[in-house]
Structure 1
Amino acid sequence: MKSRKVKRWLALGLAGMMALGTAACGSAPAAPAESTASTAGAETTADAAEASGEETASTAERQDITFMTIDFNAGSSNTGEYAEQILSQIEDYCNVNLEIEWVLSDVTEERTTLAMANPKTMPMIMTWSGELTGNVVSAAKQGAFVDLSEYVWDAEKYPNLSQMNENVADTLTVDGKLIAIPRTRDIGRYGFSYRQDWAEKLGIDEPQTIEDVYDMLYAFTYDDPDGNGVDDTYGMEMTSYTGPFDIIQTWFGCGNGWAEVDGQLIPVHMQDEYKEALDWLRKVYEDGLMPPDWAVRTTDTWSNGCKTGESGVYIDVMDGGRRIWDYFVADETYTPSVANPDEAASMNLLGAINGKTMATSGYNGYFTLSASTCDTPEKIEAALTLLDKLNDNDMRLLTEYGIEGINYEVDENGYLVDLDVEDTTLAANYAGLNQMLAYLPRYTPEPAPELNERTQAQNDVYVANEAVAVFNPASSYLANSATYSDVGATLADIITQARTQYICGEIDEAGLQAAADQWLAQGGQTIIDEVNAQYQANQ
């Protein structure tokens, strides 16, 4: 008990010292990236964990595992009356002696940098935020991390980790070696949503093709979908946030940022399909199917058009479409359906168009195994077994909801009822422990809270989108491109600005090509060369 508290204090104290030290050196600070009850449920859970631990212990010696993870709770992660009990249940279930080093979220970058500078004391499992960076790729090339490709695809040993999406695994591969386990996120999050009641009023079927989408945008603009007799609607919600264009491009066959064409990786603006997509968007703009001032509308107004009835189509994350639907249903913003005033307005969370949509990276953060401290097959397998078993249903419940009878209960219909959703003191017992989860595979643990129809629709489309979502094949290579690190953002601005100008009719095809030529001349060709050198080495 005491040793764990000391380790926590040392970890947090070190983070604080690093922050002060960094400030003293003049460096910029790092950006910062749920009633008391009977313990009967706790005892039952503990018994099950103990039984599982005994069974596992009979087949393998318990290993000591050091795990550096991120504390988003200002030092209160896994604290409180039941904190040690919960951690012990995890150790017993996973058959490890677990030492967690909690690192405050605003000093994570400094702490990971310091850890890599001292290989002999690196935590066996390290948690990283965001996506791969050049520093991590460089360290991987020097052998800092265990090559996981020889282990994780063994479905018998790692039934959860082995279900990793191979496209996501590719983005975490360096020189042919899988260097990390992703903290997975929904791959199929992007897509097409629209006002279902507007479509019903106008007799429009669910769109499937690009032509169907154009017809819907036209009808939503010119056929008075709200029935007020005023020409005051647009088909497509749009602001200066141009993410919707990236999604639309995939409908035409474009890649996600980059694409593989004839054995080479190229940026999508070099694909023939890119021009087709921009010509279509230019027509949408010329025909008045999106707000004429979209390019100067600030991004903080994004989704307001659909909420207020100005626009009927929303192309972005599906949970954004769901939040618009939530807005229609909420008491304070209740919006009646134009098709049936006795009901609330609704959104159809459709997803893909023409059988395509854009994928997310599929992860946000990742775990690496340190080669210097996971230095035997037994240690590697123990670390991977921990990461695998943490995704079992029992561990998902424990780390996300705590102990049954204390933190949650199950109602007569089998749904989970969170008892401490507003009690931060009680929730602190298990708070932060889900930062150790890879969420592989992505599923809802049972029992689960009851979902409303809007959230269920959102989750259903996430699953449907995953099979058709287009990934960026160059992600990990761009992270290790020196030129991309130096001028990538500047070059992206050239293409983004030219796209906006072309759609709005401010430049013609020659102007669009001039921007592409400028991109190549100012470092783009070098980026292509650097990316493809890595890509070919991985083949």
Structure 2
Amino acid sequence: MKPMVKKLAVLLTATGLVASLAACGKANEAGSASSATSSTAASAKPVAPADISITTLAFAAAPTGELEAVKKLNEKLNVNLKLNWIPAAQISEKLNALLASRDLPDVLFVEDFNLTPAFLNAIDQGAFWDLGPYIKNYPNLAKYPENVYKNASLKGKLYSLPRVRPLDGHESMLIRKDWLDKLGLQQPKTMDELATVLEAFAQKDPDGNGKPDTYGAVIPGSPGPASYLLSMFGTGTKWKEENGSLIPYWYTPQAKDALAFWNKSFKAGGILPDFPVLKAAQIKDMLVQGKAGVAFANVIDAYKYNLELQKVNPQANLIAVELPKAPDGKAYYEQASGYYGQFLINKKSVDEAKLKKILEVYDYTASVEGYNLATYGIQDVDYKVKPDGSVEQTEEGKKKGYSGDTTGQWVTGYFDKYSRAKISGIPTDVYEANKKVVDAISSITDPTYGLMKSAPFKEKGADWDKKLNDMMVNVVFGKNTLEDWDKLVKQFKDDPSFQQHLKETNEFYKEKSK
């Protein structure tokens, strides 16, 4: 019987072990299920909204109450936006005070680092996020042109979200098409053809009133001539890169060619005689009064000014066209920076998770839908979209404080290549013609965008600019000669302070270009 007892004992033991293992398995399954349930419950628990403080500027009175649009954004993006507006006239002073107090918001607007240079030191000390590695993950922000980010970068890195603006469309030639037709002339495509048109507008009575009271172009000469007078001839924009280094655009032989051209045009009546004292704000007045038939301005200005022209002369037809080609056969435009002001993100108060949430907010407001909500409020209540796609603020929206001059100042916006070619109510044919002008533009970037001013320039820049501007104006209207111009350029080349300015500017440029 003993062997049988042993076998039975072994069998019972084995049976107990199996039962025990089974029980453990069930317990583990139950435990796993319980753990999974607990984990699911935890993940289902609402995530608290991210508090995001933003300080920006305002060109008009800030809203006094909580805006419904901000509530909608908070709900949609699971954030708690705390917006603070500073009057535009006080922005630099207030920002410097904030930086000195070390009590910065999560996001803050900087208009110009040259006005608030202390922020550059803060960037060097690691106070703000480098956003370059993140932008590609946000589709609307990633749509901004590469040059916008390049122009806004510092020392080869992107420390800000630029408030995006068009790169082109701010330079075009406005011309009286009805004057061309009356005189049997074509749109000038070259500088020689432009000279012919300007002289004809001055001497052949294009308005048909029998009086010698018209001129070719209205060009501002105060406080100095517009840079496009030179850059249209291929000088570069403010600075020109040659063999990896920068030189002032007025050093170039093309600058002297440009001054010779405008001087000849001035003598033939091709420029208003008040040129030395005319300001940019007077361009519109001279065109609307029928004093001049050519100007250089935003593409959309032609349509805007023509509306006023036609109140006096229904047959007037001021249009925007491409700039004439320089003697080398190319048309030269100055490219804009592509932004106005920049938003920095505070690294002290913002960890990477919060950074990504902030970029999510700005990515949404970089869409048309998000931008309109943030800027104008609730569609069909606070604003309406017109058939041509433009936005019109309602009286209700105005009462609540919505305005592009205030509520639109905390977002970066969306990129619209043609925003300088259109305005609410513009006829389709005019808009399509304006778009073609913008599409034809191949512009040149100013290589010094984003660079700090050199130490010598901070001290003497105003005096240097005045000497240059005065000489340019005087050469154009004949008070000084081209020989005088050459002497002034030589003075600058012989000036140790100016040479130090060139040296420092090139150092800044090379640092940015790394």
TM-score calculated relative to the size of structure 1: 0.77
Residues 218 and 295, structure 2, Cα contact 8 Å, conserved in 1: yes
d(CA) in 2 for partners of 1:290, 1:483:
35
Relative distance call for 1:240 and 1:444 in structure 2 (3 A) is closer
Q: Write the letter of the residue equivalent to 2:288.
A: K
- The DSSP-based 3-state class of the residue aligned with 2:132 is helix
d(CA) in 1 for partners of 2:308, 2:433:
15
Relative distance call for 1:296 and 1:378 in structure 2 (3 A) is same
1:359-370 equivalences under 5 Å are 359-370=335-346
CA deviation string 1:294-320 (max 9, x = no partner): 213455533322211121001133344
Counterpart residue number, 1:193: 174
Counterpart residue number, 1:65: 52
1:309-320 equivalences under 5 Å are 309-320=290-301
Asked if 1:139 is matched to 2:114, the reply is: no
Relative distance call for 1:198 and 1:416 in structure 2 (3 A) is closer
- The DSSP-based 3-state class of the residue aligned with 1:398 is helix
- The DSSP-based 3-state class of the residue aligned with 1:93 is helix
Point out the more displaced range, 316-325 or 238-247. 238-247
1:388-399 equivalences under 5 Å are 388-399=363-374
Residues 402 and 427, structure 1, Cα contact 8 Å, conserved in 2: no
1:149-188 equivalences under 5 Å are 149-152=132-135, 154=136, 157-188=137-168
Relative distance call for 1:117 and 1:468 in structure 2 (3 A) is same
- The DSSP-based 3-state class of the residue aligned with 1:372 is coil
Residues 322 and 458, structure 1, Cα contact 8 Å, conserved in 2: no
Counterpart residue number, 2:410: 436
d(CA) in 2 for partners of 1:128, 1:432:
15
Pick the aligned partner of 1:495 from 459, 462, 468.
Answer: 468
Asked if 1:402 is matched to 2:377, the reply is: yes
In the TM superposition, residue 282 of structure 1 has moved relative to its aligned partner by 1.6
CA deviation string 1:451-504 (max 9, x = no partner): 323983696267436x52222111322x24222222222111111111112222
Residues 131 and 363, structure 1, Cα contact 8 Å, conserved in 2: no
- The DSSP-based 3-state class of the residue aligned with 1:315 is strand
1:23-42 equivalences under 5 Å are none
Asked if 1:261 is matched to 2:242, the reply is: yes
Point out the more displaced range, 528-537 or 87-96. 87-96
d(CA) in 2 for partners of 1:386, 1:244:
42
Relative distance call for 1:299 and 1:419 in structure 2 (3 A) is closer
Asked if 1:323 is matched to 2:304, the reply is: yes
Q: Of the two, which has the highest radius of gyration?
A: 2
Residues 126 and 367, structure 1, Cα contact 8 Å, conserved in 2: yes
Residues 257 and 472, structure 1, Cα contact 8 Å, conserved in 2: yes
1:220-239 equivalences under 5 Å are 220-239=201-220
- The DSSP-based 3-state class of the residue aligned with 2:261 is helix
CA deviation string 1:167-213 (max 9, x = no partner): 33233222221122221223221221111111122222222222222
d(CA) in 2 for partners of 1:458, 1:369:
41
- The DSSP-based 3-state class of the residue aligned with 1:326 is helix
Relative distance call for 1:58 and 1:242 in structure 2 (3 A) is farther
TM-score calculated relative to the size of structure 2: 0.80
Count of residues in Structure 1 that have an aligned counterpart in Structure 2 = 459
Counterpart residue number, 2:105: 123
1:187-336 equivalences under 5 Å are 187-188=167-168, 189-241=170-222, 245-297=226-278, 301-329=282-310, 333-336=311-314
d(CA) in 2 for partners of 1:513, 1:175:
35
Relative distance call for 1:414 and 1:472 in structure 2 (3 A) is closer
CA deviation string 1:318-373 (max 9, x = no partner): 344333212113xxx43232xxxxxxx12111143323222233222221112222
d(CA) in 1 for partners of 2:94, 2:433:
37
Listed as ranges, the gaps of 5+ residues in structure 2 are 1-43, 326-330
Listed as ranges, the gaps of 5+ residues in structure 1 are 1-56, 338-344
Residues 259 and 476, structure 2, Cα contact 8 Å, conserved in 1: yes
Residues 368 and 414, structure 2, Cα contact 8 Å, conserved in 1: no
In the TM superposition, residue 533 of structure 1 has moved relative to its aligned partner by 0.9
Residues 137 and 480, structure 1, Cα contact 8 Å, conserved in 2: no
Q: Identity of aligned pairs, percent? A: 24
Residues 410 and 417, structure 1, Cα contact 8 Å, conserved in 2: yes
Point out the more displaced range, 126-135 or 498-507. 126-135
- The DSSP-based 3-state class of the residue aligned with 1:364 is strand
In the TM superposition, residue 418 of structure 1 has moved relative to its aligned partner by 3.6
Pick the aligned partner of 1:372 from 331, 348, 351.
Answer: 348
In the TM superposition, residue 531 of structure 1 has moved relative to its aligned partner by 0.8
d(CA) in 2 for partners of 1:367, 1:459:
31
Counterpart residue number, 2:486: 513
Relative distance call for 1:480 and 1:380 in structure 2 (3 A) is farther
CA RMSD of aligned residues (A): 3.1
- The DSSP-based 3-state class of the residue aligned with 2:313 is coil
d(CA) in 1 for partners of 2:347, 2:278:
49
d(CA) in 1 for partners of 2:48, 2:324:
52
